[in-house]
A = this chain, B = another copy of it.
């Protein structure tokens, strides 16, 4: 009934800590949870909320559906993040003329202030994460992520 002894030697094995999906997941979880903790403590902001603010900072007036396209979040997540951001007065909405289902979303002045404050902090954190990499390695990392993201999208 038990599995032990030399049988194992010849059988397929998987070394979890060398397994790409596992490594990606661990790395991503570490990075995301640190950021999440930081945003939460400092701004009472979740990562989905931050993502919505980030795209609205760059593209004021997107609708929720357009935010969804640009963030790899699903529409439920966006809807909830938008709801919370409105409650906390970081974003506001205006009618889309010609379509009463959708609304344009904008950072409020308050929201924009938060955005402007976070952006350099986010960059700092990114730099810390990649601090042990050389410039060449950072370039490699970018290229590899591009390729992997493209590949993963079409699998």
Interface residues of A (CB under 8 A from B): 1-4, 8, 11-17, 19-32, 34-35, 47, 51, 54-55, 57-58, 60-61, 70-72, 92, 106-109, 111-112, 116, 118-120, 122-123, 125-126, 128-133, 137, 140-141, 143-145, 147-153, 155
Report Cα–Cα, A137/B32, bound state, in Å. 25
Taking CB atoms, residues of chain B closer than 8 Å to A27 are 24, 28, 145, 148-149, 152
Are the CB atoms of B116 and A129 closer together than 8 Å?
Answer: no
Chain B residue with Cβ nearest A108 = B1
Q: Which residues of B contact A22 (CB under 8 A)?
A: 51
Contact A116 B11 (CB under 8 A): yes
Inter-subunit contact A14/B57 (CB<8 Å): yes
Query: In the assembled complex, how far is the CB of residue A86 from the closest CB belonging to chain B, in whole angstroms?
Result: 14
Point out the residues of chain B lying under 8 angstroms from A30, CB to CB. 149, 152-153
Is A125 touching B21 in the complex (CB atoms < 8 A)? yes
How far, in angstroms, from A57 to B119 measured CA to CA in the complex? 44
Set B15, B123, B133, B151: member contacting A132, Cβ < 8 A: B151
- The answer on a CB contact under 8 Å between B151 and A119 is no
Which of B8, B21, B125, B145 is within 8 Å of A32, CB to CB? B21
